[in-house]
C-alpha cells in the first residue's frame, strides 16, 4: 500500500517534481585508518579545501529526491613509498587531489517551519585519486633511491624530473546530512557535513616518459567534509 501511494504521487497527481542546482565550499580532512580496517598507518592527509557541485530532483516533493554531486578536495600530507625488491619503505611528502562523483537518494525531514529542512542521504560513486610526490634530488625529501627508467640503469634521482605521481579511478561510498534554510523563494543556504570512504590500492609512481621502480603503498581515504553552500531551484517547464 505505501508503494502504491508513492507511485501515485510520482505519476503527477497534481504534484510536480522540482529540480535544483547547488554549489558548496568546504573543508575536508582524511581521518586516520581505524584498527584492522586500515591497510596502513603511513598515510596522513591534512585539512584541505574543496568545492562541490550538485544537481537534485525531487521524487516526492519535500520528502524524497535523487542527488548527483561532483566534489573536488585538495590536501597535503605524507604517504608511504616502497622501492624495488628490497622492500625499503619510507614516508614521503605528497599532495592529494580527490575528484569524486556520486549518485544517491536524499531524504528531507518535515518540520513545523517550511523554510527549514533537515536532510540526509547516501550514495555510491567513482573517484579519481591523484597523488603527487615532489622531489628535486637534494634535501631530506629529494633523495629518492632507485629512481630509474624501466630497463635503463644509471638514471639518478632528480634528473630533469621534479614530480612523481599516480592516478587511479576507484569506487567509493558516501553519506551526508545537514540543514537547508530557504532564505527566499527558490534559494536556500545549506549547512552540510559528509563522509566518504575509498580504498586506494598500491600504484606505481610515474613521471612521463619515465616509469620508476617505485610503488606508492595502499591507504584508505576516510574523508570527513564540512561545507557551506547555496541551493537554487530551477524554474519549472510547466
Number of domains in the chain: 1
Cα torsion 176, 177, 183, 184: sign: positive
pLDDT of 8 above 80: no
Arithmetic mean of pLDDT, 95-112: 92
Q: Which residue has the higher pLDDT, 37 or 61?
A: 61
Percent of the chain topping pLDDT 70: 70
Does any domain span residue 15? no
Domain that holds residue 225: 24-58+68-102+125-176+195-233
Does any domain span residue 160? yes
Does any domain span residue 19? no
pLDDT band at 146 (very low <50, low <70, confident <90, very high): very low
Does any domain span residue 17? no
Does any domain span residue 16? no
Does any domain span residue 108? no
How many other CB atoms are there within 10 angstroms of residue 158's CB atom?
15
209-227 burial string, b = 16+ CB within 10 Å, else e? ebebbbbbbbbbbbbebeb
- pLDDT of 118-141, one tens digit each? 999 999 999 999 998 876 544 444
Does any domain span residue 3? no
Arithmetic mean of pLDDT, 135-153: 49
Does any domain span residue 169? yes
Amino acid at each position: 500500500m505505501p508503494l502504491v501511494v508513492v507511485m501515485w504521487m510520482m505519476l503527477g497527481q497534481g504534484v510536480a517534481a522540482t529540480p535544483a542546482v547547488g554549489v558548496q565550499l568546504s573543508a575536508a580532512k582524511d581521518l586516520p585508518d581505524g584498527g584492522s580496517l586500515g591497510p596502513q598507518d603511513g598515510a596522513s592527509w591534512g585539512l584541505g579545501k574543496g568545492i562541490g557541485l550538485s544537481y537534485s530532483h525531487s521524487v516526492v516533493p519535500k520528502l524524497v529526491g535523487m542527488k548527483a554531486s561532483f566534489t573536488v578536495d585538495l590536501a597535503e600530507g605524507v604517504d608511504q613509498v616502497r622501492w624495488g625488491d628490497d622492500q625499503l619503505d619510507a614516508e614521503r611528502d605528497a599532495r592529494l587531489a580527490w575528484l569524486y562523483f556520486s549518485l544517491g537518494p536524499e531524504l528531507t525531514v518535515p518540520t513545523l517551519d517550511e523554510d527549514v529542512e533537515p536532510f540526509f542521504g547516501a550514495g555510491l560513486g567513482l573517484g579519481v585519486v591523484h597523488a603527487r610526490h615532489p622531489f628535486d634530488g637534494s634535501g631530506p625529501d629529494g633523495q629518492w633511491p632507485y629512481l630509474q627508467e624501466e630497463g635503463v640503469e644509471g638514471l639518478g634521482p632528480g634528473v630533469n624530473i621534479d614530480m612523481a605521481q599516480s592516478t587511479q579511478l576507484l569506487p567509493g561510498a558516501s553519506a551526508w546530512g545537514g540543514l537547508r534554510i530557504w532564505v527566499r523563494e527558490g534559494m536556500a543556504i545549506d549547512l552540510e557535513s559528509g563522509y566518504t570512504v575509498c580504498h586506494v590500492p598500491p600504484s606505481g609512481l610515474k613521471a612521463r616518459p619515465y616509469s620508476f621502480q617505485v610503488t606508492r603503498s595502499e591507504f584508505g581515504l576516510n574523508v570527513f567534509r564540512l561545507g557551506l553552500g547555496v541551493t537554487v531551484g530551477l524554474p519549472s517547464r510547466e
